[in-house]
């Protein structure tokens, strides 16, 4: 998998097969697009049907909770298949609308590149673009939190002692932010000392840091780095490389990005938003095709 940082968003070249979402799409008798769950399963990173079926069931609950009709988006499509003994058994399958695929992806592991791609590919336009933007930032914040933990674990394996974790992570910040550590970044951006820095990053800044964290973790593991000083130098070097990439493409340096509102406010706004998700007619009708005009 090759990863590049381009402007505002972290763009990850798809692992083999993820560019086939369009090829997997079919049309039913109503002229509506759909995807077979069985065919989609491996491209969302699921190796076992039972786990994927569990994700489908969760997506069905999300569909109903959002105020949309489950039957418009999930259709049972099991068929009988032959066994080696000559007997037959039913192979369960579902026909999934674009919205159904989107909900399944939303319930997936955000660290999986397959899930990240699916979330973007199956994104459904709603009449609440501000909620979509909030959701994007919240998802990124959660992903960066997971990557932070994963990098900490990799650093520990490389020999970084817990009392040096602050120095290790500050080295990455200093590389990316032109020599500024966590406390200095907050001071420059007038962020209260009590606030976690990542809680005040916008989507652009979070994406840059996610790239730094993932690349540092991969490099530590790939090169089998051992020793505190070596790990700290590596993290700083990766931060500098990401900074150089942003500079080459003419992006805004991360220390010059304005602080965003606290992520707690974003969570509160999403939680307070109406539960119903208003879809455009085509998306709302899903497997039934475009609603006829009355």
For residue range 15-35, what is the model confidence (pLDDT) as tens digits?
Answer: 434 457 888 999 988 888 999
**Across the chain, which distance is largest between two alpha carbons, in Å?**
73
- CB atoms under 10 Å from CB of 289, counted, come to 16
Shared domain check, 168 and 122: no
Number of Cβ within 10 Å of residue 97's Cβ equals 28
Residue 4, domain member (yes or no): no
- Shared domain check, 266 and 144: yes
Same domain, 186 and 248: yes
What are the DSSP E strand ranges found in 9-87? 9-12, 26-27, 33-36, 74-76, 79-82
Q: Are residues 101 and 159 in the same domain?
A: no
- Regions in the chain scoring below 70 on pLDDT: 1-19, 79-90, 124-132, 273-278, 290-294
Phi, psi of 198 (to 5 degrees): -65, -25
**H-helix or E-strand containing 125?**
none
Question: Are 22 and 107 found together in one domain?
Answer: yes
Query: What's residue 11's pLDDT?
Result: 32
Within this chain, do residues 175 and 111 fall inside the same structural domain, yes or no?
A: no
Residue 227's pLDDT is 96
In whole angstroms, give the CA distance from residue 14 to residue 27.
Answer: 25
Residues 121 and 178 in one domain: no
- Provide the 3-class DSSP secondary structure of residue 153: helix
User: What's residue 121's pLDDT?
Assistant: 80
d(CA 88, CA 78): 12
Pair 116, 140 in one domain: no
Question: pTM for the whole thing?
Answer: 0.55
Question: How is 195-262 classified by DSSP, letter by letter?
Answer: S-GGGG--HHHHHHHHHHHHHHHHHHHHHT--SHHHHHHHHHHHHHHHHHHHHHTTPPPGGGSPPPPP
Residue 180 in domain: yes
What are the pLDDT digits (tens) for 41-82?
A: 998 988 899 889 998 999 999 888 878 889 999 999 876 555
- Domain shared by 94 and 210, yes or no: no
CA distances from 35 to 81, 88, 96 (A): 20, 24, 5
pLDDT at residue 179, as a whole number: 97
Does residue 124 sit in the same domain as residue 135?
A: no
| Torsion (CA) 162, 244, 177, 180 in degrees, nearest 10 | 80
Is position 3 within any domain? no
31 and 119 belong to one structural domain: yes
Same-domain pairing of 136 and 258: yes
Domain count, the chain: 2
Interior CA angle at 76 toward 73 and 82, to 5°? 145
**Structure tokens of 176?**
């990316």
- Asked whether residue 63 is assigned to any structural domain, the reply reads yes
pLDDT at 133: 76
Quick one: which of 93, 144, 141, 83 has its CA closest to 262? 141
Q: Is 2 a domain residue?
A: no
Domain residue limits at 76? 12-128+275-288
């Amino acid at each position: 998998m090759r990863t590049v940082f381009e402007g505002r968003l972290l763009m990850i070249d798809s692992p083999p097969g993820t560019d086939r979402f369009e090829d997997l799409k079919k049309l039913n008798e109503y002229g509506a697009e759909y995807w077979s769950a069985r065919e989609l399963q491996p491209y969302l990173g699921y190796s076992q049907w039972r786990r994927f079926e569990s994700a489908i069931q969760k997506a069905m609950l999300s569909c109903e909770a959002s105020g949309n009709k489950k039957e418009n988006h999930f259709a049972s499509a099991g068929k009988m298949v032959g066994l080696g003994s000559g007997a037959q058994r039913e192979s369960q399958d579902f026909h999934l609308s674009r919205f159904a695929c989107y909900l399944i992806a939303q319930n997936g592991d955000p660290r999986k590149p397959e899930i990240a791609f699916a979330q973007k590919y199956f994104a459904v336009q709603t009449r609440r673009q501000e909620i979509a933007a909030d959701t994007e930032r919240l998802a990124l914040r959660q992903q960066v939190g997971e990557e932070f933990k994963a990098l900490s674990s990799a650093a520990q394996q490389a020999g970084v002692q817990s009392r040096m974790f602050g120095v290790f992570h500050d080295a990455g910040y200093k590389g990316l932010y032109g020599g500024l550590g966590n406390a200095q970044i907050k001071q420059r951006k007038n962020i209260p000392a009590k606030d976690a820095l990542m809680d005040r990053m916008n989507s652009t800044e979070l994406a840059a840091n996610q790239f730094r964290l993932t690349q540092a973790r991969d490099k530590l593991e790939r090169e089998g780095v051992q020793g505190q000083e070596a790990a700290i130098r590596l993290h700083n070097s990766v931060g500098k490389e990401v900074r150089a990439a942003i500079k080459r493409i003419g992006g805004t340096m991360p220390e010059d990005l304005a602080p965003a509102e606290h992520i707690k406010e974003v969570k509160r706004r999403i939680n307070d938003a109406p539960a119903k998700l208003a879809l455009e007619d085509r998306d709302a009708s899903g497997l039934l095709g475009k609603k006829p005009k009355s």
